[in-house]
Amino acid sequence: MRLENSFLLKLSGEALGSSGIDPCATESIAGQLCAAHRLGVRLAIVVGGGNFIRGAQLKDFDRVVADQMGMLATVLNGMALRQSLESRGLSVILQSAVPVAYAQPLDPISARHALSEKKIVIFAGGTGNPFVTTDTAAAIRASEIGAKVLLKATDVPGVYSADPKKNPKAKLYRELTIDEAIEKRLNVMDLTALTICRENKITIKVFDVFRPGNLEKIIRGEPIGTTVRP
Residue 168: predicted pLDDT: 86
Does the residue 103 lie in any domain? yes
Q: Give me the domain span that covers residue 109.
A: 6-229
Q: What is the DSSP letter of 123?
A: E
Does the residue 136 lie in any domain? yes
pLDDT digits (tens, 9 = 90+) for 142-173: 999 999 999 999 999 999 999 888 898 899 99
pLDDT tops 60 at residue 136: yes
Does the residue 168 lie in any domain? yes
Does the residue 1 lie in any domain? no
Alpha helices in the chain (DSSP H): 23-37, 63-86, 108-116, 134-145, 178-183, 191-199, 214-220
pLDDT tops 60 at residue 2: no
Does the residue 90 lie in any domain? yes
Does the residue 78 lie in any domain? yes
The pTM score is: 0.94
Can you give the C-alpha Rg of the chain in angstroms?
Answer: 16
Does the residue 165 lie in any domain? yes
- The residue-averaged pLDDT of 120-143 equals 97
Count of structural domains within the chain: 1
Kindly report the CATH number assigned to the domain that includes residue 168: 3.40.1160.10
Does the residue 16 lie in any domain? yes
